[in-house]
A and B are shown apart, each in its own frame.
Chain A
Amino acid sequence: MAIIERPVITEGVELAPLATPSRAQGAFKRPVSATGWKSWLFTVDHKKLGIMYGVMAMFFFILGGLEAVLIRLQLAAPNGKVLSASVYNQMFTMHATTMVFLFVMPMAAAFANYFIPLQIGARDVAFPRMNAFGFWCILGAGIFINLSWFFGGAADGGWFMYAPNSGPIFSPSHGVDFWALGLQIAGIASLTGAINLIVTVLNMRAPGMSLMKMPVFTWLTLVVQFLLLFAVPVITVALFLLSFQRNFGATFFDVSAGADPLLWQHLFWIFGHPEVYILVLPSFGIISEVLPVFSKKPLFGYPFVVFSGAAIGFVGWGVWAHHMFASGLGPVSVAVFSISTMAIAIPTGVKIVNWTLTLWGGKLRFTAAMHFAIGLIVLFTIGGLSGVTHSVAPSDTQQTDTYYIVAHFHYVLFGGAVFGLFSGFYYWWPKMFGKTLNEKLGKANFWLMVIGMNMTFGPMHILGLQGQPRRMYQWTEARAGEGFFNLAFWNRIASIGSLILTLGIFLFIVNVIKTSRSKERAPLDPWDARTLEWMTSSPPKEHNFDVIPTVHHLDEFFHRKYEQDPVTHEYKQIATAEEIMADQEAHADKHIHMPSPSYWPIVLASTLPVIMIGVIYSIPVAIVGGIFLVLAMFGWALEPSTAPETDFDPPASGESTKELAPLV
């Protein structure tokens, strides 16, 4: 199918004058390439952007993973010499920063971008250019933060960058500057993305899809966008304070000027705790799609899962100080935050119960996606329970800042977030690329990851409980204890585990390469799925659906395929996916309006790192960047809303294009 976003002058059909506003408004032409590198650079298509988010996040996942392997190599033996103290401190700071901001968040954004419009039966997101702008921002942020490695060293204060250790005296390299300003750019990406997806979900659902008929992935991602919308401004403020302190001599965290360093901790964790749910809820959403499909049952207690997700979104704001139980808050605050933290375990527990009961009585097919989803239930439960032990504040004062908490958040974030994302890869790969990832390799990938992850992070529980603090570039035998199973033994096991984990992830990359070379096409509905994104071709056409579906049920696609016999109550197949698809194509919408590509998102986004470099090294550069920023904004504003017909090359043939709906 050729390009469909161009307006077509069909003989005999008179378009309203409003259909060609492009000639009346706008100073710049819009790009029109549908193939080649330009089609990626200037795209506003949510699916292409989703793939770009994914590729970028995968790159940073590998980078952050290699950083982790270096950390484990350093700690494999006492008095490790692989890294110097300074490089080690940079390494763990950047490992966390990379994994949180440059892998899990963009990877969740990849899935959200790609699948939310498909799951709600929309043709794109509400603000396509803003969507592209968000991607170029996060890519710029990732490159910018990592540039610091080549400019005198990366940030070295730990990912929560406590003041005053992050100040110019105590962290004299420019690493923290790059870190703070880079995260500022990443924050812009998150905010624009959040606004975009909220508007999309609230306004662009297919007819009939009430909020309580929405797929759970869309629901939980919607919760995440609200969390982002309110959490990102807080870190933005904190990062501004830090940057002004470092670059312009402000004294927000300077104790000698009367500041209280705990201000930073409160600001950081008011962002930082919702951030934890920002990282893990998308994966909860993914497995809430995967488990029902491979159990051949609807999600058990859909409203409970949705409302517990929303409840987590609310209660998540009232627990931040549990990161500060040792900070000296005083017993009243500690007790209150201890109780509120226990409270948040309840909605989380509800989810685990619901997932388990979704399996119960089902007809389980153990695909690779299902392996990862079930793996998440068990591993996240372990992380959740160690989280409950942390909520007991007196106990936390023993375990916080030891390896026990490193174990806890890796079970939550690796066992939770990452396993969910991998489940999503295997489940949605055929939808995104038209080819199914190799299941055998997928299962090997799963088992290596499960074994590797438990070997790496499991022993950390013991290490922490036996007193090994985190963030130490070396450990010594003097504090390792006696006996065969001393801390030296567990450190070694953890390091070996990290290599097995690496091998598991390597298998995934092998699988991707192998699959991309394979000629075998995936069937239209390989998993007998339940939700709308499967009710179109794989990969979907640029306009997603030939017909915008009218929704009558939760799990609409399932109900179009199966019908309950009113007498026997048994489910019988009434249509195949192919038949539904053929019916759609036969009744394709006559008017499809799609946004044109645009130069401005990438141009506008690329001015931001220039400004940030200027802030660090030379203000005139920042001013030049600022001027280009304003110009790019004008360019954006003055761009016509579509590309005129004559710009397209080659010209469309009548049959293969669709008309453009008049612009309103």
Chain B
Amino acid sequence: MSTKIRRIVAGVSGLAATAFLAGCAKDAPQDTWQPKGSNAKIIDDLQQPVFAIAGVIGVIVTCAVVYCIIKFRDRGQAMPEQTHGKPALEIGMTILPALILAGVGVFTFRTVFDLSKTSDTQMVVNVTGQQWWWEYDYPAQPELGITQPIITSGQRIIPVGTKVLLRETSRDVIHSYWIPALNGKRDAVPGRVHTLRLDADEPGIYAGQCTEFCGLSHANMRMETVALSKEDFAAWVANQLTNAKSPAEKTLAKEGEGVFLNQCVRCHQVNGLKKVDGTPAIAAPDENVWAGAAPNLTHLMSRNTFAGAAFDLLSKKCRADVWGASSETVGKKYLAGVGEECLNQTDLRRWLRNAPAMKPMYADPAKLTSTNGKYRGMPNLGLTEDDIDKLVAYLSTLK
């Protein structure tokens, strides 16, 4: 009996494992079983054996039940013995899983503390979630070339092989920061600061998504972590530290700057932007937006997604080129930013035309009383097509 059963168990478990692995998508961007950083690898090393053990136990139980179904079906046999159980067997069957779980428990315990280690952190990024996008602020870290704080959103750039500590919080509801290839998720809770360590082994763009339900547009709250080589990262930092330059006079972009000053600067900061009277234009989104912040657009075109990483700034072809690039070339391609020929005009224009239609938001002025008169997300600004042309021209200069 035992060899026969063993053969069945082996056969079925092998079949199930093959079916399962063959049944997976190739290159799913948020695959949890393709770790690309040390933290995700620690998790993966723990979970693979656990899944295997669970799979084997599942197969054994199923086989035992199937065996009973076949072997003990009513064929007119006599009334079975009215046994009430065998305590020795029962106790054995209680101790056995307890031992297996104790083993799993020891490794889990160790891994939990390994993952919480922060003493050897090499770089800090503050991460703030809000409805429905992520802001990253890099405090000044001169040893990494960050001489002044950098504020960006959507895509978080890190140097490869560097142990980065995220300090997460939120400006409104609970969100959760999750880049599956680099680590598990950690909630960003208002009023608290939670830490999460991330590092990437190779340059690349790693996709993620908010995984704590955060209201209407939860599905559209995405993010990426972009790992660059140390040199590329230095170049990125250098660019981020510069202010936006005002476009040349008498260009469409310059007119766009006027529209921006009129319509957008209430919420969106562009570092270096000056009002007509020459004073710096400072965004004060806290007056208009519930979260009290809107993405800083100084280097919008250095990122390749917008609106909470929900939409591409790159056209389809250019996106495929950058996202599909090998780890050697991805840095250069990413740093090239979004050029004229690559800009995804369609989505950007649709967004400027009517943002809430693309990404549901509580931005209806009629409902502002329920949110203390503040928008949640970007409202429909009622721009004319003319204004949109000008704005697109201006935004394209924010490299």
- Asked if A481 CB lies within 8 Å of chain B CBs, one says yes
Query: A residues 362-399 with Cβ under 8 Å of B?
Result: 362-366, 374, 377-378, 381-382, 385-386, 388-389, 391-399
- Asked if A601 CB lies within 8 Å of chain B CBs, one says no
Whether the pair B190, A255 counts as a contact (CB closer than 8 A) is yes
With beta carbons under 8 angstroms apart, the residue of B73, B85, B211 that contacts A302 is B85
With beta carbons under 8 angstroms apart, the residue of B26, B101, B312 that contacts A482 is B26
Whether the pair A261, B190 counts as a contact (CB closer than 8 A) is yes
Whether the pair A339, B105 counts as a contact (CB closer than 8 A) is yes
Whether the pair A471, B213 counts as a contact (CB closer than 8 A) is yes
- Asked if A82 CB lies within 8 Å of chain B CBs, one says no
- Asked if A276 CB lies within 8 Å of chain B CBs, one says no
Which of B106-114, B135-143, B144-152 interfaces with chain A? B106-114
Chain B positions within 8 Å of A438 at CB level: none
With beta carbons under 8 angstroms apart, the residue of A356, A382, A392 that contacts B46 is A392
Residue of B nearest to A381 (CB): B61
Whether the pair B372, A296 counts as a contact (CB closer than 8 A) is no
Which of B5-13, B51-59, B245-253, B262-270 interfaces with chain A? B51-59
Chain B positions within 8 Å of A165 at CB level: 173-174, 213-215
With beta carbons under 8 angstroms apart, the residue of B104, B187, B372 that contacts A327 is B187
- Asked if A487 CB lies within 8 Å of chain B CBs, one says yes
With beta carbons under 8 angstroms apart, the residue of A168, A302, A335, A389 that contacts B47 is A389
- Asked if B185 CB lies within 8 Å of chain A CBs, one says yes
**A481 and B186 in contact, given A331-B113, A385-B57 (Cβ under 8 angstroms):** no
Whether the pair B24, A462 counts as a contact (CB closer than 8 A) is yes
A377 to B62, CA, bound (A): 9
Residue of A nearest to B77 (CB): A363
Chain A positions within 8 Å of B395 at CB level: none
With beta carbons under 8 angstroms apart, the residue of B109, B210, B372 that contacts A338 is B109
Whether the pair B94, A346 counts as a contact (CB closer than 8 A) is yes
Whether the pair B32, A328 counts as a contact (CB closer than 8 A) is no
With beta carbons under 8 angstroms apart, the residue of A258, A296, A343, A381 that contacts B62 is A381
**A481 and B31 in contact, given A84-B360, A260-B192, A363-B80 (Cβ under 8 angstroms):** yes
A468 to B31, CA, bound (A): 8
Whether the pair B25, A466 counts as a contact (CB closer than 8 A) is yes
- Asked if A297 CB lies within 8 Å of chain B CBs, one says yes
With beta carbons under 8 angstroms apart, the residue of B80, B172, B185 that contacts A400 is B185
With beta carbons under 8 angstroms apart, the residue of B57, B68, B94 that contacts A360 is B68
Which of A139-147, A421-429, A472-480, A639-647 interfaces with chain B? A472-480
- Asked if A250 CB lies within 8 Å of chain B CBs, one says no
**A85 and B72 in contact, given A482-B27, A485-B24, A487-B28 (Cβ under 8 angstroms):** no
Chain B positions within 8 Å of A338 at CB level: 105, 108-109, 112
Whether the pair B371, A363 counts as a contact (CB closer than 8 A) is no
- Asked if B209 CB lies within 8 Å of chain A CBs, one says yes
B27-46: contact bitstring with A at CB < 8 Å (1 yes, 0 no)? Answer: 11111110000001011001
- Asked if B238 CB lies within 8 Å of chain A CBs, one says no
- Asked if B327 CB lies within 8 Å of chain A CBs, one says no
- Asked if A36 CB lies within 8 Å of chain B CBs, one says no
Chain B positions within 8 Å of A474 at CB level: 219
**A401 and B25 in contact, given A164-B173, A169-B370 (Cβ under 8 angstroms):** no
Chain B positions within 8 Å of A398 at CB level: 32, 40, 43, 47, 180, 184-185
Residue of A nearest to B91 (CB): A304
A364 to B116, CA, bound (A): 52
In the complex, how many angstroms separate the beta carbon of A574 from the nearest chain B beta carbon? Answer: 13
- Asked if A352 CB lies within 8 Å of chain B CBs, one says yes
Whether the pair A393, B213 counts as a contact (CB closer than 8 A) is no
- Asked if A314 CB lies within 8 Å of chain B CBs, one says no
The DSSP consensus for interface residues of chain B is mixed
Whether the pair B46, A395 counts as a contact (CB closer than 8 A) is yes
Whether the pair A377, B101 counts as a contact (CB closer than 8 A) is no
A345 to B61, CA, bound (A): 15
Whether the pair A335, B64 counts as a contact (CB closer than 8 A) is no
- Asked if B216 CB lies within 8 Å of chain A CBs, one says yes
With beta carbons under 8 angstroms apart, the residue of A156, A361, A466, A571 that contacts B31 is A466
Chain B positions within 8 Å of A481 at CB level: 25-29, 31
Whether the pair A162, B61 counts as a contact (CB closer than 8 A) is no
A637-655: contact bitstring with B at CB < 8 Å (1 yes, 0 no)? Answer: 0000000000000000000
Query: A residues 455-509 with Cβ under 8 Å of B?
Result: 462, 464-475, 478-483, 485-487, 489-490
- Asked if A172 CB lies within 8 Å of chain B CBs, one says yes
A364 to B207, CA, bound (A): 52
Chain A positions within 8 Å of B390 at CB level: none
Chain B positions within 8 Å of A564 at CB level: 82
A313-340: contact bitstring with B at CB < 8 Å (1 yes, 0 no)? Answer: 0000000000000111011001100110
In the complex, how many angstroms separate the beta carbon of A397 from the nearest chain B beta carbon? Answer: 3
A356 to B85, CA, bound (A): 12
- Asked if B2 CB lies within 8 Å of chain A CBs, one says no
Residue of B nearest to A461 (CB): B20
In the complex, how many angstroms separate the beta carbon of B330 from the nearest chain A beta carbon? Answer: 17
- Asked if A251 CB lies within 8 Å of chain B CBs, one says no
With beta carbons under 8 angstroms apart, the residue of A156, A169, A381, A483 that contacts B58 is A381
With beta carbons under 8 angstroms apart, the residue of B42, B83, B217 that contacts A297 is B83
Chain B positions within 8 Å of A480 at CB level: 25, 28
A164 to B171, CA, bound (A): 11
With beta carbons under 8 angstroms apart, the residue of B69, B90, B101, B191 that contacts A345 is B101
New contact pairs (12) apart from A255-B190, A462-B25, CB-CB < 8 Å: A86-B360, A296-B79, A326-B176, A342-B108, A356-B68, A374-B69, A394-B112, A397-B184, A398-B185, A401-B185, A481-B31, A482-B26
A-B contact pairs, 16 of them (CB 8 A): A258-B191, A261-B190, A296-B79, A334-B112, A349-B93, A350-B93, A360-B72, A363-B79, A377-B65, A398-B40, A466-B28, A471-B219, A478-B29, A483-B27, A554-B84, A562-B79
Give the 4 A-B residue pairs with the shortest CB-CB distance, closest first.
A467-B30, A397-B184, A481-B25, A481-B28
Q: Interface of B with A (CB < 8 Å)?
A: 20, 22-33, 40, 42-43, 46-47, 50-51, 54-55, 57-58, 61-62, 64-65, 68-69, 72-74, 77-87, 89-90, 93-94, 97-98, 101, 104-105, 108-109, 111-113, 115-116, 131, 168, 172-174, 176, 178, 180, 183-187, 189-192, 194-195, 207, 209-219, 290, 312, 360, 362, 367, 370-372, 376
